[in-house]
Amino acid sequence: MAAALALLLASAAPTLAEDGAGEAHRVPPAIVAPLLDWVGRHTGQPGLVPPVIIASRQALRRLDRTAQLAGTDERLRAAYVPGVVILDSDTWSPADPVELSYLVHELVHHAQQLAGRGGECRGRREEEAYRLQNLWLAEQGLPPEHDPAWIARAADLC
Ligand SMILES: [Zn+2]
């Protein structure tokens, strides 16, 4: 994954400097801060150091191909690699609460990483991320993105 991350950052870096222009761009801290704060409260980790957050369809596609090689065929809408959240620049909008919920999900993985839980059973980490994503959506008055029964089963996939 380290090699894939290096590739991703190398491909995203040239356009990051343009900040908002072009295919890849960084998500402003003002959008991230309240979500990170929320995740910190719900994971018992206040004062989380934010990850780098970029919206890049190209970087996500590249990761998606790696995931498919690893046997996953669900299309990635967002991803987390240690220290970096990647969103889809084609669909990302801070005005869309469902897109924000994907960011919440990935910020939960960031909190897990900072707590030294990166090596923990993947199903358990996903269970927490999906559950908190649904909770955040519920607080916005929106229906869950994921079926609670399906989430509960995810915890057993270790
Ligand atoms: Zn996840």
Q: What is the Å distance from ligand 1's center to 112 Cα? A: 11
Q: Which tokens in the block code for residue 3?
A: 């090699």
Asked whether 45 and 115 are in contact (CB, 8 A), the reply is yes
pLDDT per residue over 83-112, tens digit each?
999 999 999 999 999 999 999 999 999 999
Q: Which residue has the higher pLDDT, 139 or 8?
A: 139
Domains of the chain: 2-154 (3.40.390)
Give the model's pLDDT for residue 70: 64
Output the CA 21–ligand 1 centroid distance in Å: 28
- Which residue has better confidence, 157 or 44? 44
Determine the pLDDT at residue 157. 79
- Calculate how far, in angstroms, residue 129's C-alpha sits from the geometric centre of ligand 1: 6
Nearby residues of 58 by Cβ (< 8 Å), 6 or more positions away: 11, 12, 23, 24, 89
Find the 134 Cα to ligand 1 centroid distance in Å.
Answer: 13
Cα of 116 from ligand 1 centre, angstroms: 16
Alpha helices in 44-121 (DSSP H): 57-69, 97-114
Q: What is the pLDDT of residue 4?
A: 53
Rounded Cα–Cα distance for residues 126 and 123 (Å)? 5
- Please give the distance, rounded to the nearest whole angstrom, from the Cα atom of residue 109 to the centre of ligand 1: 7
Q: Give one DSSP letter per residue of 10-55, joined into a string.
A: HHHHHHHTTSSSSS-EEPPHHHHHHHHHHHHHHHT--SPPPPEEEE
Burial 114-147 (b: 16+ CB within 10 A, else e): beeeeeeeeebbbbbbbbbbbebbeeeeeebbbe
Question: 87 CA to middle of ligand 1, Å?
Answer: 12
Q: From the CA of 47, how far away is ligand 1's center (Å)? A: 21
Task: Report d(CA 150, CA 68) in Å as an integer.
Answer: 21
Q: Using the mean position of ligand 1's atoms as its centre, give its distance from the Cα of residue 124 in Å.
A: 10
For the stretch 16-59, pLDDT in tens is: 434 443 468 899 999 999 999 999 999 999 999 999 999 999 99
